[in-house]
Structure 1
Amino acid sequence: MSIAVLGAGAFGTALALSLAREGHEICIWARDAATVDAINSDRRAPRLPGIPLPEAISASTDIATVARAGTLLLAVPMQSLHAVLTRIESPLAGQRLVACCKGVDLQELTGPTGVIAHAKPQAIPAILTGPSFADDIARNLPTALTLACRDEAAGTALQQQLSTGALRLYRTTDTSGAELGGALKNVIAIACGACIGEGLGDSARAALMTRGFAEMTRLAAKLGARPETLAGLSGLGDLALTCTSELSRNYRFGLSLGKHERFDPSLTVEGVKTAEAVSRLAAKLGIELPICAMVHEVGGGGTSVSEAITYLLNRPLKEE
């Protein structure tokens, strides 16, 4: 079954490279004609400088044609996912739509598979998530990810189709757990970046990661996810990577907040919108997510990093 990628960002292009090395012909859809020309004519990806693209990868601005592939990797920002899907007139019946984005939709308050199910109810939704940087995948470095699909047969087929020599996929049917882990770890990464940027030290970061993981599992359990999913690659694994590396945009954004520096507004920081969406969701469900709430306040400019830290440190003492 053919594979296409919707979105010509770094991660989508890196996945295309990984699959092309295994002999797949991959077409990438991009909005920008200049990006398509760079891929087709110059054999380069604007978002992955210095890495040449093989002839097996092509690009097009015609989303209807690209979307005919049996497997679609949806490598677009979370808050753009619904709009991209609605651009496709076809119901995509029976096609496998694999979200490669992380977050919670601000309008629907659901993760990527929920957005897919709402926009294209006849398609088969799945999500590919876990600890990974686009540059590592593009350079064929060993990476392990979670492939979550409620349809077990489809999930097994996708695992076989998308795994490569360097990209190892672990399968689960727990889409809620997989997508919540990937979404919330971005929020906690912002908090950890702000902590280090403010000069509060590694011990404080370790505390934020641990209590942040508790918030991740609390929300996931409330929504019916399995605890073991959050303890795997899509939760704990991704949290460990994103909260400790400056290659993470969310962590770097947090660093800029802590250092009171300007952050490049052209870069998508999924954790900011996710913090807002998760704060709404927590209020709706009647649960407390104090770290996520403070990231929402700080990211929106309503609270300073020092005020947020003071609030967290002065919460009532409790059992772990």
Structure 2
Amino acid sequence: MAAIYFHIGLSDYGKFSRYVKKIFNVGIPVVICISLYILVKHYNLLIDVLINLFEGQNYFNGYLWQLYLDFYWDKNRAGGTMAIIFCHILTVPEPKYKSRNIFFILTVLPIISAIRHLQLGFALTAIFINIRKMRFIILIILVFLVSIFPFRNVYFQILETSTKKDVRMMGLANTINIVTEYPFGVGNGVYHTFVLNNMDELTEHLSDYGIHMPVGPESDVVYVFSSFGLLCGLIIYAVLVVMLFRLWRLYPSLTYPDKLFALVFIYFFFAGIGEDWIFSFSYWLLFGFALGVITANRNRNLRSQTILRPQNINMKYL
């Protein structure tokens, strides 16, 4: 995929860009119709959400369950689809689609609210893209970290409690155990089997709240280091981090759809903290597009003709 996208020249780039926009112009109305179907047919879910809005629980999960029952659209696929559509909206600020984009956001809001990794991924992506203007905020974060150091024991106790209560924290704790016991990991595709074979022992050691150890890794970090060990895991993430910063440097000078693929890769890198996307076919397809963006000659030509200046994600036309 990277090789194919690499060889798309400037003459064909405009055509490819129009094709990508057409795909989204068809796909977004389809997603809107699906969301409206869930909202209308299962309106009782919205009533439950409003009644329990301040109870501190995620009652929007009912929408995800209905998506799966009615359309076989699970949380992972729904989150990935929403993320890619949002990246498209943010990189194509066309006023004529403003009303449609607003309507899309309103109809899928319950689904977005139920997917925490979608919120986390975009929050971290927005910060990363705009990090050139974030020096003051970074300084505040550093001061905060230094200020809590005298109370580190209290925070460590809170962290330990969370580790034994949250399924993703349990997965990270399991990763540390695996890397310690198996320096080269348990092997690609073996994580689920490993957890199932050791379910009782893992639940006993990693949970004090009767919560069973999740069978899935629930995080790219967990999957990579548990499957391939510390050394290979660091190598894999080193490659991803190099691509991440390379795309960050290119981002201000990119045009659509290169900017779209760059933003999607950056999003999935950060969203992978809370969801296991990596090593799926769709992930490596997007990886190929991102690598093609980095290596394409057209972008080097554009960079030589463009005065680089920081650009924020354009929220104006949402």
Give TM class, smaller chain: under 0.3
TM-score (norm 1): 0.26
- Structure in which a larger fraction of residues adopt helix: 2
TM-score (norm 2): 0.26
Query: Relative contact order (alpha carbons < 8 A, sep ≥ 6): 1 or 2 greater?
Result: 2
Return the index of the structure with the highest Cα Rg: 2
